[in-house]
Amino acid sequence: MINIVYRLISPKFFEESIDEVELDGVVVRPTYLSICQADQRYYQGSRPAEVLEEKLPMALIHEGIGEVIYDKSGEFESGDKVVMIPNTPMGEDVCRANYSYKSKFRGSGFDGFTSDLIKLDSSRVVKIPDDFDPRVSAFIELITVAYQGISKFSELAITPKDTLGVWGDGNLGFITALLLKNRFPDSKVIVFGKHLENLNLFSFADESYQIHNVPDTLAIDHGFECVGSSASQSAIEQIIDLINPQGTINLFGVSEYPIPVNTRMVLEKGLTIQGNSRSEREDFVGVVETLKQNPQLFEYLEKLVTNICEINTLADLKEAFDKDYISHFGKTVLKWNK
Amino acid sequence: MIFAAILAGGIGSRMGGTDTPKQFLSLGNKPVIIHTIEKFVINENIDKTIVLIPKNFINHTNNLINEYIGENEDIIVIEGGETRNDTIMNSIRYIEDNFGIDDESIIITHDSVRPFVTHRIIRDNIDAARKYGACDTVIPATDTIVESVNGETIESIPVRDYYYQGQTPQSFNIKKLFNLINSLTEAETNILTDACKIFTLKDEDVHLVDGEVTNIKITYPYDLKLANTILEDGND
């Protein structure tokens, strides 16, 4: 079948292109999509020139939901609402598929979701209930990244989980802190951020502090770094200072630059540092189940929806990226009508 | 019920140089018409897809459908008519004889040589036909339109903002379309090359649905060459 794909040709320039797909998987019509920082870096051209040269043209966006149009296998029914999994394993591996070199990722290694239709393997699609808020569901993928990090953390941590510190008052910090509070309701979740107006939104957290105003006596059992970029250096430094011996440091923030770490104190405290990136099917199933069981989470998560842009034309898509770029907090959700 | 009518009644006289009608020429790995049919067959909202084809190509079309799509009772291949409107009438008669026509029934008519139609365009056609009774898929005109009656000098240059290029699908409430066609005089029938024109002639509203620049019609050898090039480029 012929499919129309809307690709980023060069920074800030989208164009229609035509693709041919076999009808041997699940065909999904995208409905609500969400812009991620990684998309924004391609759109702004802030990735290194050789990366842009290698990856573009490519359709962006790896966070999104849609409706099943066609499934030859009959596993899904037409009209089923689904969340799409961008990670696409291309072979077996000994590690989780989201860390495998054999996996491809939509909107990074191959086309993302900005197209008329999307064909996916049935294992790359998870059904969501009809009553899920589509604006929040659009960024389930981001929630799964926090979810898989927390799942790994809960297996890794050997010391008590009484006090959990989350660094970063952006989207991922908000989601990570919210999921931690939901999963460990008896633990104290403390958020550390720079922007008071953002920290005020973390009303579900037990405490929150601006990073320059932390009491000397404060200590945490485990730390979650959701800062990213060069600022993750100071965040990691503060975590190492505040963390109790044998705690875990869970890294989520992406940085284009190498980040120096105080390894002396990591050794002295016997800390474990765990990296987190992307997610896999079990995380999507887990998040959908968590949201089903805890519908009150939608109330908090919808605070992240700061822009809703209806996309009828490529000019609308461009405008949505520009709007997202100047937003300090929250997610830009695309109501996909193109 | 919702029906799609894939109009392939013409023999592609404009394609030139080849004896094969343009809808059967290859685009990528499949004939053009197969790509077009696939778009309608995967759409669960469409109950039956009727393909209207010159009589001597009916068997060939059925063979192609079996080969590329597989046996599918929702695809019906029947003979088209002399003109575009005759072809549409053939599909309506077939629907009336085999399924009956109720007040809600809709027909989505589409050129067999527009394989790049999108799911979104088809969805918007269904919505608009349900709501307004008739719709046409268009894109804003990009070239300046000039009017010349004698073919030698310009009569007028209309304001471009008011002009659109018609694509397909064109979709209709079947009952409404059927009644309007039956009310035409012979003189009116002779000048009507477009189903939407029947509505406008009878002062009935036709709603506009946004088309796509990619929704091109493969009319000339150049179009097919261009389409194949775009497709190869996209598949790289």
Q: What is the ipTM of this complex?
A: 0.86
Looking at the DSSP bridge assignments, the partners of residue A190 are A165, A207
Nearest to A15 by CA among A66, A74, A57, A69: A57
| Inter-chain CB proximity A4 and B230 less than 8 Å | no
pLDDT tens, position by position, B17-51: 556 788 999 999 899 999 999 999 999 999 999 99
- Predicted pLDDT at A210: 98
pLDDT reading at B13 higher than 60: no
B40 interfaces chain A, CB cutoff of 8 Å: no
Find chain A residues with C-beta within 8 A of B71's C-beta. none
Report the pLDDT value the prediction gives residue B17, as an integer from 0 to 100. 52
pLDDT at B234 over 80: no
Please check whether residue A43 is in contact with residue A321, taking contact to mean a CB–CB distance below 8 angstroms. Answer: yes
Give the span between the Cα atoms of A191 and A204, in whole angstroms. 10
Question: Mean of the pLDDT values across residues B204-227?
Answer: 92
Q: Can you give the pLDDT at residue B20?
A: 73
A-chain residues near B234 (CB < 8 A): 5, 17-20
Q: Kindly determine whether residue A2 and residue B28, on different chains, have CB atoms separated by under 8 Å.
A: yes
pLDDT of residue B11: 58
- Provide the 10 A C-beta neighbour count for residue A328: 9
Could you say which of A1, A19, A78 has the minimum Cβ distance to residue B38?
A1
Nearest-neighbour CA in chain A from B44: distance (Å): 6
pLDDT at position B83 over 90 = no
Q: What is the mean pLDDT of chain A?
A: 96
Q: What is the pLDDT of residue A3?
A: 95
User: Element (H or E) spanning A14, and its range?
Assistant: strand A13-20
Residues in A closer than 8 angstroms to B47, CB to CB, are none
- The vertex-B74 CA angle with B36 and B59, nearest 5°, equals 70
Tell if the CB–CB gap between A18 and B214 is shorter than 8 Å.
yes
Helix (H, G, I), strand (E, B) or coil at A148: helix
Cα(B161)–Cα(A145) distance, integer angstroms = 48
- pLDDT surpasses 60 at B227: yes
A2, B42: Cβ pair inside 8 Å? no
Which pair of structure tokens corresponds to residue A82?
């689904």
Helix axes B58-68, B32-41, angle to 10 degrees: 60
Residues in CB range of A119: below 8 A, 6 or more apart: A3, A21, A22, A23, A24, A25, A26, A27, A28
**Mean pLDDT of the region A226-255:** 97
pLDDT, position B15: 47
Task: Work out the pLDDT band at A263, boundaries 50, 70, 90.
Answer: very high
DSSP β-ladder status, A207-210 and A188-193: parallel
Residues of B in contact with A79 (CB under 8 A): 44
Residue of A nearest to B42 (CA): A70
| pLDDT of amino acid A88 | 94
**Does the bond joining A11 to the residue before it have cis omega, within 30 degrees of 0?**
no
Considering only alpha carbons, which residue of chain A is nearest residue B122?
A: A116
Q: Does residue B169 have a cis peptide bond before it, meaning omega lies within 30 degrees of 0?
A: yes
For residues A71, A76, A78, A83, the Cα torsion angle rounded to the nearest 10 degrees is -100
Nearest chain B residue to A59 by CA distance is B234
Name the closest residue on chain B to residue A55, using Cα atoms. B236
